[in-house]
Amino acid sequence: MELKDKTILVTGSTDGVGRVVAERLGGAGARVLVHGRDATRGKAVVAATEAKGAKAEFLAADLASLAEVRRLAEAVRARTDRLDILINNAGVGTGGQGAKRQVSADGYELRFAVNYLAGFLLTSELLPLLNASAPARIVNVASAGQQAIDFDDVMLTHGYSGVRAYCQSKLAQILFTIDLAEQLDGTGVTVNALHPASYMDTTMVRQAGVTPWSSVETGADAILNLVTSPALEGCSGRYFDGQRETRADAQAYDEEARRRLRAISLELTGQSSATSREQHS
């Protein structure tokens, strides 16, 4: 995909791999919508991107609140009549040893809310723009750390651990990717997920008490591959480890599990199935 003059939203792009991706996209001539919670860091990314001769703008939102997710989508719609690429990158890490169960502004388990549910809602809100801009691409930044969703305890009220919560939320992203790809078939909008790199040198990894052993540049290469690779034109519903297509956890390919997750997600975000179908068409 030629990036010059394309409009791209990158969530979680004021730090880590998201920041590298945003700045590289700007360097390629794209108009970048930078997202994060910290305005000071956001303005720094915008300045660095604009220094490359690109257009960039910072949009603040805390994805631990569904109301803020909707506000972010509204801010995007107010600024552009097209969206060529959406990169759902924002996320919360495992929290390291002894991480306590936390909840979002809406009362949902925090990692499920931020890592998965926010991207689910944001994508749904922005699908009309993506459809109008087809061919368009959605990239979900997931992880090789995956654990099957316990549909009897999605919010992990029993036996909680930060690692379990993180891995469940990341697998949910992949189920969503495959499910959405089927719904978008024939629209010209594709969606793929990836594990960019293992234990990148990011704040998230360091906060988990892990010594980084991959660079954010390696992770950015993998994300940008899904954004730009001509070999992936028309390819959708795939999962990649770095730049290599591979298989996710078996639950991702369970049609009933995907249906259950979709139903739960629509309910938790206050969307109806009919509204969802309209956005996808």
The residues annotated as belonging to the active site are: 166
Question: Cα–Cα–Cα angle for 21, 25, 29, nearest 5°?
Answer: 170
CA–centroid distance for 110 within its chain: 15
